[in-house]
Amino acid sequence: MTKYSAAIDIGASSGRLILGYLEDGLMKLDEIHRFENRIVKKGDFFCWEVDKLFQEIITGLKKCKELGIKLDSIGIDTWAVDFVLLDEADQLITEAVSYRDPRTNGMMEEVFKLIPKDELYLRTGIQFQKFNTIYQLYSIKKEQPEILEKAKSFLTIPDYFNFLLTGKKANEYTNATSTQLVNAISKTWDLDILDVIGMNKDIFQEIPPPKTILGSLKEEWVSELGADITVVLPATHDTGSAVIAVPEENETIYISSGTWSLIGTETDSPICTNKARDYNFTNEGGINDQYRFLKNIMGLWMIQEVKRVYNDQYSFADLIDLAREVKDFKAIVNVNDDRFLRPDNMVQEIINYCLETGQSVPSSPGEIAKCVFESLAESYLEAVIEIEEILEKRFEKINVIGGGCQNEILNQLIADVSNKEVYAGPVEATAIGNIAAQLMALGIIKDIKEARAIIKASFEVKQYKPSVMNYIKEGD
């Protein structure tokens, strides 16, 4: 009998319920439900609408029931770092404030006064980003200390949804590591860090690894959905799930390409060297006790915002075509500059950057798009060079996964600037990795090696080779 698993994958702009199952040794996917996700202003903060998102999860599960699909398991993944706090009655006492909210401005520097930057990196191995959970929590301590006094439970966003489904609290490992509060070696909450920044350690939960069976649905959901379903912890950090789906696992660098670009490789131990710190790499938790040694850099957020600024009159495919038509324009922006994190007008911000740096100024949608794509490729190249320098090894392949792998012009640019073969796919990497973790937890797939072999056989992966007119950096 076919076993059905549902991956509930929620990203920064949308969420989906994807049905996954094995048929003749291949993994099959069906999208059952898709819904919008957005940031809204609530009072003084930019927040996620977690109550709406949870209702969409239930709606997706009800659609499965209506279609006569008996789910054996579900697993939830979302973006990282954001969280909610619950009181002693398990009621929300915070909104789910977005990492894009400016409340963390200056908080990183405040924390460094309490614990030196070098020590924080040595303990956690986590990349310094001003929106990391540690700085969000510290901003609450500084500005709203009464909230922390009432707090009894800390849950990341997928942890919270899992709690609503099962009544069980846990801080799954891959997402917990992104908080910059987990010790990279012990893989537990770093109590010294919590003590130094004045956090109550009792609000944090146990840290189970991916492939953990959390439990069954609460009775109210069993009744409403007409079935009990096993809730499995996949890698609840969406990038952690996506990396599980990297089919070219040997000697490859991966780029999980979406709103953000996560570029890195898998390692057996954390790399907390001075060079890794200076280049701002992170050691996030992965499956099977591995580490995702990667850098979180700007991704397709920039082109998403460009599309929005042009009032959505151009599709993403249109912008790619317009960029391809531009032959004689060249300008590169630093995509990781904070000015591109949440500008009022992304197009104008790109123009301003080019003006300020004395470059050619883009004046058409095609030139803007070309600037974005070439700038992203340059940032990827820089990260690839740093990875090879830190690990003292050369990689021959780059595997681009996720929705961004459909951007053919960007894939070719990556191949050209890096002089490496680029493999693009699978597209639905996050849902695929989520489902693979569930099937491993249920014993249907034996291990990660078998999972990746199935994934490689099941989904299209396109290959891009460096162009004959290879990209040569000025001065080479």
Q: Kindly list the catalytic residues.
A: 238
Q: Yes or no: say if 91 and 84 are a contact pair by the CB < 8 Å rule.
A: no
- Side chain identity at residue 453, one-letter code: A
Give the Cα-Cα-Cα angle 346, 350, 352 (nearest 5 degrees).
115
Q: For residues 273 and 285, what is the distance between their CA atoms, to the nearest angstrom?
A: 17
H runs (alpha helix) in 144-294: 145-150, 157-166, 173-177, 191-196, 219-225, 238-244, 274-278
Q: Yes or no: say if 422 and 411 are a contact pair by the CB < 8 Å rule.
A: yes
Q: For residues 394 and 140, what is the distance between their CA atoms, to the nearest angstrom?
A: 43
DSSP secondary structure string, 12-66? SSEEEEEEEEEETTEEEEEEEEEEE--EEEETTEEEE-HHHHHHHHHHHHHHHHH
Facing residues of 17 across strands? 8, 33
For residue 421, give the nearest of 396, 443, 438, 386 by alpha carbon.
Answer: 396
3-class SS of residue 233: strand
